[in-house]
Amino acid sequence: MTFNNNPNSATGGATSSPEVTEGYRRYILFMLLMVFTFSHIDRHILAVLLQPIKEEMLLSDTQLGFLTGFAFAFFYATLAMPMAMWADRHSRKNLIIVVLSVWSVLTMVCGLATNFLQLAVARIGVSIGEAGSSPPSHSMIADIYPPERRATAMAVLATGVNLGVFIGFYFGSWVAEIYDWRVAFFVVGGPGLILAAIMWLTFREPPRGHADGHTASSSIHKGPAPPLKVVFSRFWTVKSLRHLIVGATLNVFVGYGVVAWVASFLIRSHGMSLGEAGGKVGIYAGIVGLVGTLIGGYLSDRLGRGDPRRRMWLLAVAAVVAAPFYVGFLLVTDSELAINLWIVPLILGAFYLPATFAMVQGLSPVRMRSVSAAILFFILNILGLGLGPQTVGILSDYLAPEYGSDSLRYAMLIAGLASLWAGVHFTLSARTLRADLEATAAADT
């Protein structure tokens, strides 16, 4: 792979004819996958520990919903934008290394908390660290993978969600059951510092715009990156992008609302132990969800080659088909049947992520890509991660006087039906997608 003499420059060191080898392309993707995985391990470890924390600190479900939702989502979403603006102008590699180190340390600090306020502050610290990792990662992947391969590459990156859920829930629950919930925070936080050191020694910045045929002399490298208000305006004025974001946000609302509470649901409504519930969530949401993410990315690229609108139609169909299985998962009383029914929405519910990641990059001019990813994460996390767990927690407390320990079951059911609304917006996005993609490509020439 050929770079200029400053691999950490704002342009990423594109030369007049850069060569990106397949081996190094895969290495970049692998390292960014590891970063994304660690972010979701540290993000989701709290969800599997909600029950013992609730019992020790005597917290309500509304408070727990705040810890897994807004306490993380607000700072994560808002600070991602200034960090992404910095990444569009300076070294993306250095930013990722710094924030990875910060959130790993603060994850361990969560294990030292003795009350609600201390835990909330530590979680906010984790969210501030994680805010700077995903936007530059998306930008780098878009730089080295062409549009026809981008959804598959984004699917590989998106499996970090599933790997993080698997490791966080499966190993975190057993560490907490054998030792203590505080120990679990230290076990998952420490390895991030090792990964940061490896990245510092081996990772190099890819050339910006390489996969789209841009060189150091291209217009994308001349002048400053567009201001934030210009990128925000694009998200509203480009119709296919606007509907894509609404659909994805509704899916995230359901996804985070379920993942944050499903272990507690299995404990309360199905009588499972912490280790058993965490293990099942880790295996199913992690491994099965990973398969769904990869299938979704592959199908998105395969179907989208002839007509990009098929990517959106795929997501709409997946949302509709998954809904009755999700309802069955929550309402049946047989534990084994419930888990088996959950497989279908886990697979189909993961389809949206790689297609959304890829299409947002495809609908964004090259010099807007980090900030576009940051705006995507801002919307997804404020409305999805923030409102999803919080809404379920509030509904559960509201329904508790009538339904007792089953209040969580019905709270998750009510919130989960938002996925059908998502299917409508994916269909609307398809209407103008092809024209919007052509207009974006013309803007970079």
Residue 314 has a pLDDT of 95
Residue 209 has a pLDDT of 64
150-177: per-residue pLDDT in tens? 878 888 888 888 888 888 888 888 888 8
What average pLDDT does range 30-34 have in this prediction? 94
Whether 6 shows a pLDDT value over 70: the answer reads no
DSSP structure class, residue 271: -
Residue 358 has a pLDDT of 83
User: Residue 11: which pLDDT band, with cuts at 50, 70 and 90?
Assistant: very low
Distance, in Å, from the CA atom of 358 to the CA atom of 379, rounded to the nearest integer, reads: 16
107-143: per-residue pLDDT in tens? 999 999 999 999 999 999 998 888 888 888 888 888 8
Name the most confidently modeled range: 18-27, 277-286, 318-327: 318-327
265-320: per-residue pLDDT in tens? 999 999 998 888 888 888 888 888 889 988 988 898 888 888 889 999 999 999 99
Distance, in Å, from the CA atom of 218 to the CA atom of 110, rounded to the nearest integer, reads: 46
Residue 13 has a pLDDT of 39
Residue 375 has a pLDDT of 82
Distance, in Å, from the CA atom of 295 to the CA atom of 189, rounded to the nearest integer, reads: 30
Name the most confidently modeled range: 167-176, 181-190, 351-360: 181-190
User: Residue 387: which pLDDT band, with cuts at 50, 70 and 90?
Assistant: confident
Distance, in Å, from the CA atom of 395 to the CA atom of 107, rounded to the nearest integer, reads: 28
Which pTM does this prediction carry?
0.69
Q: Percentage of the chain with pLDDT > 70?
A: 91
Cβ neighbours of 105 (radius 10 Å)? 16
Name the most confidently modeled range: 65-79, 85-99, 341-355: 341-355
Average pLDDT, the chain: 84
196-245: per-residue pLDDT in tens? 999 999 888 777 666 555 544 444 444 566 677 787 788 788 899 999 99
List of residues 6+ apart from 355 with CB closer than 8 A: 151, 154, 296, 297, 300, 311, 312, 314, 315
406-420: per-residue pLDDT in tens? 999 999 999 988 989
CATH code 1.10.150.530 for 22-214+224-443: no
User: Residue 10: which pLDDT band, with cuts at 50, 70 and 90?
Assistant: very low
DSSP structure class, residue 224: P
Whether 3 shows a pLDDT value over 50: the answer reads no
Q: Which token pair is 326? A: 């999700």
The least confident of 6-10, 25-29, 47-51 is 6-10
DSSP structure class, residue 406: G
Residue 398 has a pLDDT of 94
Residue 225 has a pLDDT of 63
The three-class DSSP label of residue 1 is: coil
Q: Do the beta carbons of residue 335 and residue 277 sit within 8 Å?
A: no
Residue 98 has a pLDDT of 92
| HEC letters along 306-338 | CCCHHHHHHHHHHHHHHHHHHHHHHHCCCHHHH
Give residue 174's identity as a one-letter amino acid code.
W
Q: Percentage of the chain with pLDDT > 90?
A: 36
95-115: per-residue pLDDT in tens? 999 999 999 999 999 999 999
What average pLDDT does range 371-383 have in this prediction? 80
Terminus-to-terminus CA distance in the chain, angstroms? 24
